[in-house]
Amino acid sequence: MTLTAIAFDYGVKNIGVAAGQSLTQTASELNPIPARDGTPDWDQIEQLLKEWRPDVVIVGLPLNMDDSESEFSVRTRKFANRVHGRFGVKVELMDERLSTRDAKDAAQKRGHKGNYGKNPIDSIAARLILESWFAVHG
């Protein structure tokens, strides 16, 4: 059975978004959702969920390198719980420890010069998180 999934890379200014499916285990970057101190426009998230109808939503969980949780991990879990609570979708957390570094590497290969303000890497990170999830759960 082919699964459709959406991934979120939670952040305080932007929430990266990617969508994909398990048949090819690939994902595509979508436009990030602006956030105000971590609070997204819930209508935009609802629109994404209506458009893609995912079987599962993956949220990247930022753990410390020693597997401990940070204050940001707690905020990320709250975001994941709110997505589940508001929309009734299945939500899973995925370790995203190195996704930001990998996303910066991918952005540089595309020609980004290190100033990510106009070209946030959040959706690249979301794509990498989702592709990692497919690799584990494929």
Task: Give me the residue label for tokens 């979120």.
Answer: 8
CB atoms within 10 A of CB 122: 27
Q: In this predicted structure, which of 26-35, 54-63, 89-98, 111-120 has the lowest mean pLDDT?
A: 111-120
pLDDT at position 1, please? Answer: 82
Residue 96 CA to its chain's centroid (Å): 9
Q: What is the mean pLDDT of residues 83-105?
A: 81
3-state secondary structure of 82: helix
Q: Domains of the chain (ranges plus CATH)?
A: 4-137 (3.30.420.140)
Tokens of 101: 């570094």
**Is residue 15 predicted with pLDDT exceeding 70?**
yes
> What percent of the chain clears pLDDT 90, i.e. is strictly above it?
62
Confidence class for position 65, pLDDT limits 50, 70, 90: confident
Q: What is the mean pLDDT of residues 23-34?
A: 92
